[in-house]
Amino acid sequence: MTTETYAGTREAVHEQRVEGFGTVRVLPVDPRADLDVLHGWVTGERAAYWGMTGFSRQQVLETYLHLDSLDTHHAFLTLKDGVPAALFQTYEPEADRVSECYEVRPGDIGVHLLIGPPVPGAGERPGWSSTLLSAFLAYALTGLGRERAVVEPDARNAKAIERLTRQGFVPAGDIVLPEIDLPEVRLPEKRALLAFLTREAFEKGPTAPR
């Protein structure tokens, strides 16, 4: 893999040049082509709250093949100047267990995010996470015409919660996402913080791409 050619022929759902940062491209995940990146990220220590740290390559592949088969849940690999930088997922809240914890509104879209590990030797990355998240929110809210982004980070994940509130998400209280135990997906009960960001607030906010 070279940074110039990684997923170079895959069509982006969103692409923008961020002054002082670089070019950000948001691509639909290809579970097989992206397996090396996916497995390396979701099983790493920084992704502990994703609950996949002990997964084999096959388990990660099956997870994202299942996700790819759904009309309500989607995964995206975000590249910064041709290098994989973040994994984002969107979902329809009414088709997700979060719908048992709040009253879903028309125009809501759920968002999960995982910022990739630093490239060795890259040094400090000021504004890295907020710029990548801002670019993805530009796609999820403005690009898709949604009214409000919904997040439910693990209540113990202080770093993610701080990042999201800094981005403009407004906390709406603690929730408990119920356990799911189905043949195709198994998720333990999750204590989380529910938070929202409206498109209007995002487009007016200081972190929105210009």
pLDDT tens per residue across span 191-210: 999 999 999 999 987 655 54
CA proximity to 114, closest of 50, 34, 165: 50
Give pLDDT, residue 95: 94
- Given a cut of 60, whether residue 184 has pLDDT beyond it is yes
At 155, the amino acid letter reads A
Give dist(CA 131, CA 207) in Å, integer: 7
Rounded to an integer, the average pLDDT of 99-122 is 88
Q: How many CB atoms lie within 10 A of CB 152?
A: 24
Backbone φ, ψ for residue 149 (5° rounding) = -95, 140
- pLDDT (average), residues 127-146: 94
pLDDT above 80: residue 126 = no
As given in the structure block, the two tokens for residue 96 are: 């997700």
Average pLDDT score over the chain: 90
pLDDT at res. 207 = 57
pLDDT tens readout for residues 15-31: 999 998 899 999 999 99
C-alpha distance from residue 67 to each of 62, 73, 88, 127 (Å): 9, 6, 12, 30
CA-based max dimension of the chain: 46
Is residue 7 scored above 60 in pLDDT? yes
Query: Rounded to whole angstroms, what are the CA distances from 210 to 26, 77, 203, 206?
Result: 17, 22, 9, 9
Confidence of residue 120 (pLDDT cuts 50, 70, 90): low
- Name the pLDDT band for 179 (thresholds 50, 70, 90): confident
Bridge partners (DSSP) listed for residue 154: 192
Q: Which tens digits make up the pLDDT trace of 47-69?
A: 998 889 999 999 999 999 999 99
Closest by CA position to 54, among listed 65, 41, 43: 43
Per DSSP, the residues of 118-159 read PPTT----TTHHHHHHHHHHIIIIIITT-SEEEE--BTT-HH
